[in-house]
Amino acid sequence: MDFLKEFSKLKKVSLPNGLKIVFLQRKNLPLINMCFLLNAGAVTDSIEKEGISSLTFELLFKGTKKRTAFQIANEIDSAGAILTCSTGLDYSLIIGEFLSKDMRKAFEILSDITLNCTFPPKELEKIRKKRIDKLKEEKDNPSYLASKEFFKNLFNHHPYGNSILGRVETISTINERDIFNHYWNYANPRSSILSLVGDFDDNRALKLIEEFFGKWDTNIKMKNNITRPPRIKGRKIIVMNKPEMTQSQIRLGNIGFPRGHSDYFPAIIANTILGGSFTSRLVSEIRVKRGLTYHINSNFSSFKMGGAFYVSTFTENKSTFKLLEIVLSEMRKMREFYCSDEEIEKAKKYIKGIFPLKFETNENIALLLAEMEFYDLKLDFIIDYYSKLDRVSKEEVNKIANKYFDWENFCLFILGNAEEIKNDIKQLGEIKILKENNK
């Protein structure tokens, strides 16, 4: 609990142009870790340009009005620093680590790649080729392919079903003008967040941020007007045929809740009991007792405007239906019967045990602070985390199970040999069979 006391030092300010800044001093090492969050994730990709956000952010490091890709990489390496980017569904990130003495250099490079980016055509072609090669390789990765297609069908044309990496067909058509327009349509200081954690002086850091980001123009055209995705009604069962597979990749679930929702604490307890830990019911019944799989778990994933609850596993083709029967049976039991006091206390203890891992590094903390600001999570989410867990009752856990562990309404996606499994799976409902290359 002592590590939570550090958050009393947290400071928040905003520049006149709307850029939100979060400071947290931690003088354990002579380093600063930064997280720059921009409101331009895969949800901003159109169907025709799926993957454009992640492609765009890779290109930020490939040339500016002042630096070539080589110069950017060389300056970062010469400073013994780290600067990387990543794209998720809701947002994209630039994460960095610099020596405290190089704070000015850190903001100078960060502002150059974000405000002076040029998206060189030659660099785009290099990244495009690597991305297409990666996507072709992923077609031979059953777990990746199953998850990608499951979320596409679960969210059913909603932007949360977008693939972050895109598809070969869309990546092939994106040009430098598309990249330029996409970035400057969404790169907006009013919806961006810069978090800073480490050994630094607040006043000096703020002055440097004002110097390098204070003139960032706010004349932005586009906004993320994302609606909440609707829940699946009935049973949506899809089998993607991959005849050579001897095992089925299985994903089953429905729509969940957005980040910051009041269901969060009872939900993570209920999920830990069902399939979110190594001693969960699904692991016990399916892996330990019956040996039907080596891996099975359940998860809640939450985003700005929605989320998902899903079970993820694999098994031999011949045991696919049996495994699904047990999954649905355990979901039904969670709804119809209260969890025991022992299960709930064990789940709470487990969640408390892994919670401090979020604070192992300054980089983790910088990311957490940026996310909290983005999702409008109050500081008490961290400070009162343990007490909020403790207050969750058996009745609340049961209510969550009834709300989200729905064994009658769900999306089921199976990647496997359709001929071997379809007759058994038909017992669960009508099946739609897709070819592997179905878009």
- For residue 159, the domain's CATH number is 3.30.830.10
Q: What is the DSSP string of 334-345?
A: HHHSPPPHHHHH
The residue among 180, 213, 246 that closes a domain is: 213
Q: Does residue 159 belong to any structural domain of this protein?
A: yes
User: What CA–CA distance (Å, rounded) separates 310 from 325?
Assistant: 15
How much is the pLDDT for 222?
Answer: 65
Please answer whether residues 101 and 30 qualify as being in contact, where contact means their C-beta atoms are separated by less than 8 angstroms: yes
224 is a domain residue: no
Asked if residue 222 is part of any domain, the answer here is: no
Task: Say yes or no: 273 and 160 in one domain.
Answer: no
**Are 186 and 273 in the same domain?**
no
* Residue 221 falls inside a structural domain: no
Q: What is the mean pLDDT of each run of 10 residues along the chain (439 residues)?
A: 76 95 92 96 95 97 95 95 96 97 96 96 96 93 96 95 96 96 93 96 96 86 80 97 96 97 98 96 97 97 97 97 98 96 97 91 95 94 94 97 97 97 96 76
Evaluate whether residue 24 is within a structural domain.
Answer: yes
Structural domain for 362, as ranges? 235-435
Is residue 335 domain-shared with residue 401, that is, in the same domain? yes
Do 181 and 292 sit in the same domain of this protein? no
Q: What is the pLDDT of residue 221?
A: 62
- Give 355-380 pLDDT, tens digit per residue: 998 888 999 999 999 999 999 999 99
172 & 131 share domain: yes
State whether 134 and 255 are in the same domain.
Answer: no
Comparing CA positions, the residue from 413, 431, 439, 432 lying closest to residue 139 is 439
DSSP letter (8 states) at residue 253 = E
Q: Which of 399, 16, 348, 355 is nearest to 215 (CA)?
A: 16
In this prediction, residue 439 carries a pLDDT of 45
Last residue in a domain, options 213, 244, 277: 213
164 and 31 both lie in a single domain: yes
8 Å CB contact between 195 and 366 = yes
Q: How far is CA 327 from CA 290, 331, 366, in A?
A: 13, 6, 37
- Do 283 and 189 belong to one domain? no
Angle at 310 between CA 305 and CA 315, to 5 degrees: 155
Q: How many domains does the chain have?
A: 2
- Please indicate, yes or no, if residue 228 is contained in any of the structural domains: no
**C-alpha to C-alpha distance for 239 and 412, rounded to whole angstroms:** 8
Closest to 64 measured CA to CA, from 95, 109, 104, 96:
109
Reported as a single tens digit per residue, the pLDDT across 186-228 is 999 999 999 999 999 999 999 999 999 999 987 666 667 788 9
Instruction: Name the domain boundary from 168, 183, 213.
Output: 213
pLDDT digit string, tens, across residues 211-221: 999 999 876 66
pLDDT at 438: 45
Same domain, 185 and 258: no
Provide the CA 108 distance to its chain's centre, in angstroms: 28
Same domain as 194, residue 267: no
Nearest to 186 by CA among 45, 58, 317, 318: 45
Proportion of the chain above pLDDT 90, given as a percent: 91
Residue 128, domain member (yes or no): yes
Pick from 231, 196, 199: which is nearest to 213 by CA? 196
What is the rounded distance in angstroms from the CA atom of residue 147 to the CA atom of residue 145? 6
Whether residue 247 sits in one domain with residue 167: no
Sign of the four-CA dihedral 371, 376, 377, 379: positive
Judge if 391 and 428 occupy the same domain: yes
Asked if residue 225 is part of any domain, the answer here is no
Alpha-carbon distance of 107 to 99, in angstroms, equals 12
